[in-house]
Amino acid sequence: MRRANPAIRIVVGAWTHPYDKRDIQAFLEASKTSDIQAFSYHQYGTHQPSGDPFKLYKTAKIIGQRPKAIRQWMNQKGLHDAELFLGETHMFTTWDRDKQRLMRTHHGAVFLALVFQQAAQHNDIDGIFPWNDADNTYGLFNHKDGVYSLRSAGYVLKLLRQYFSHGQRIRVSTPRGIDAFAVRTPSSHSLMIINSHTYPSKITRLDMKGWQSPQQNYQLYTIDSDGIRVSQQTWDQQQSQTLHLPNDSVSFLIFSGENSPNIDERST
């Protein structure tokens, strides 16, 4: 294939047991003399027919941390230049296991946000591709009257791509149950906050006094059980800033002069 098209990228793997160290290392050992450009694998939250969202959120973090180990194995076999892809991921292995239809709701958004947030803490992976069922029941897209719109998890991917796919990562410390990912570019500061608390109280207060915002006005995108909302907020730099975050939610704070993505609040 490389002779026919020198630009072709040879991807191997599609591994479904990313925790099987011996199996993957044996494959990489056999492949290290081959002309491969990337290794891919699949990892899901569960194969069980139903799930507790909070337990699945813990699994999402494990999925996001797995690339670090696989990248180390690749480096040990001399595959330093090969790319690493998480070719499929989501809460459930197949659509029929999602009995409560969690993937199409804010639960799917929180889950995928945690996967990306954990993976982004290191430069160990080159691409993550969430599995999407296209039957209009479980996927990232809503299809009605010939028109496609994004569901909650789809908006997470859109906002991550627009505001977090390039720039300098900012280290952010958070209390237990809160996870964050921040990026600085010459024109914007962007902060994603994941509140994976699922206990009965509906709000978590988060002290943001250590966060230095570049400007006073920002856009706040909130994805929770009520759907997707966007609002214009003002950051008081003279006082201690406190955010009131809905539990079981993903929030995006965008300090930027750029135009915001189109938000279709009907797609829930």
76: its two tokens:
């040990």
Of 6-20, 126-140, 182-196, the poorest mean pLDDT is in 6-20
Amino acid code (one letter) for 171? R
- Residue 250, pLDDT > 50, answer yes
Write down the residue that tokens 């988060």 correspond to.
206
**CATH for the stretch 168-256:** 2.60.40.1180
Relative to beta strand 188-195, strand 249-256 is antiparallel
Tens digits of per-residue pLDDT, 37-91?
A: 889 999 999 988 877 899 999 999 999 999 999 999 999 888 888 999 999 999 9
Quick one: which of 213, 211, 212, 218 has its CA closest to 257? Answer: 218
d(CA 184, CA 252): 14
How many residues are listed for the chain in this entry?
268
String of DSSP letters for 51-110: --HHHHHHHHHHHHHHHHHHHHHHHHTT-TTSEEEEEEE-SBSSGGG-TT--TTSHHHHH
